[in-house]
Structure 1
Amino acid sequence: MKRTLLIAVAALGLIAGPAVAQEPPPAPDRPLPDAAQEARAQALFDDIRCVVCQHEAIADSPAVIAADMRQLVREQVAAGRTDAEIEQDLVRRYGDFVLFKPPVRLGTWLLWFGPVGLMAAVLALLLLRARGRRVEAAPLTVEEEARLADIISAADLRPDPDAKRSDD
């Protein structure tokens, strides 16, 4: 009886465990009372990447951290900070990845121009190798031509000893 009860409790724990472990839903967004400030905040939401979802803007993300980031942006807009200052603060907190359009600097140069440079290098390498392979074969000497003619004219000589006449 105890064993059956223990198995039932364990099964219930396995079933209910993921539901309990899920992250709670985010608090509902509270828009700013000033419509112009809210429009500015909404425009910023589309340019900022959710650090959890990574492919969604914080405007579209259902993650709790995206709701926190939206609230942070709204607070900073209400405080009178510029869009550039808000983006700099988010970059300071989360890195360049948080922006959908990261700035071009020394650290991101390879990210921006690396694929084009790599393709150009591969193309140059292929062109150089193609030019270097153009080697003409030396013509056969008179002795080599005579030997080749003898080999071709030999009717009983077959390239494959297991081949039959029907394989020709």
Structure 2
Amino acid sequence: MPADLFKRTLGVVLLACGAVLPALAAAPNSDEAARLAAQVSDDPELEARVMALSHKLRCLVCQNESVAESRAPLALDMRNQVREQLAAGKSEREVVDFLVARFGDFVAFTPPFRASTVLLWVGPGVLLVVAVGGLLWRLRRRAAEASPAPLDQAAHERACALLEGRPVHHSSEDSRS
């Protein structure tokens, strides 16, 4: 009996550690927070420009987050690079051009329009037109398939008789079905 209790307790402790340790690993430590805080400029206008430009740049580690939102060390380095270059008097276009030259077009959330990226710009519209065209074609085809066949003369006379309340004469084909 004590062995079962020990196994259960050990299982609960391991489960608790498995749940708590990842949360502790993801939490920022005080050294990292101090380093982040120390690298922020005293100029609020510069910081606003840094953050605005950082929202237009993709984190190369996270890939679905902007440099402003990412907590990856590379994103921090990129924000610092943006801050340094803007503080040195470079324009936003020059900073973006520098980062694109260093990391490629992928670093920009909005890639430039050129021959190599034309599919990124035109592709979604073409896919939408093709999808809507395919949907309309399918709906028209389905409507054509679903339209009833025209009545022959005997069926028309029988329907008129039923609507008028007259007795209907059953043919040999009707009695079989």
Structure-1-length-normalised TM-score: 0.58
Which of 24, 45, 56 does residue 47 from structure 1 map onto? Answer: 56
Let me know the Cα RMSD of the aligned residues: 3.9
**Alpha-carbon offset, residue 70 of structure 1:** 1.3
- 2:136 maps to 1:114: no
What aligned pairs does 1:56-75 form with structure 2 within 5 A after superposition? 56-75=65-84
The percentage of aligned residue pairs carrying the same residue is 40
Letter in 2 for 1:134: A
- 2:90 maps to 1:90: no
Query: Higher relative contact order at CA 8 Å, sep ≥6: structure 1 or structure 2?
Result: 1
CA distance in 1: counterparts of 2:89 and 2:50, whole angstroms: 11
Match of 1:150 in 2: 172
1:125-160 Cα offsets, whole Å, 9 max, x none, are 343452697378577699xxxxx9423313xxx7xx
Which of 97, 102, 114 does residue 105 from structure 1 map onto? Answer: 114
Pair 1:91–1:139, CA change in 2 (3 A): same
- Bigger proportion of residues as helix: 2
Match of 2:11 in 1: none
**Alpha-carbon offset, residue 64 of structure 1:** 0.7
Match of 1:5 in 2: none
CA distance in 2: counterparts of 1:149 and 1:119, whole angstroms: 54
Unaligned runs of 5+ in 1: 1-14, 143-147, 159-168
CA distance in 2: counterparts of 1:34 and 1:141, whole angstroms: 90
**Alpha-carbon offset, residue 33 of structure 1:** 5.3
**Alpha-carbon offset, residue 78 of structure 1:** 2.7
CA distance in 1: counterparts of 2:110 and 2:126, whole angstroms: 20
1:14-51 Cα offsets, whole Å, 9 max, x none, are x9xx9xxx9x9764352345554444323222222211
SS of corresponding position for 2:90: coil
Unaligned runs of 5+ in 2: 1-17, 155-169
Q: Is the Cα–Cα contact under 8 Å of residues 32 and 78 in structure 1 kept in the other structure?
A: no
Structure-2-length-normalised TM-score: 0.55
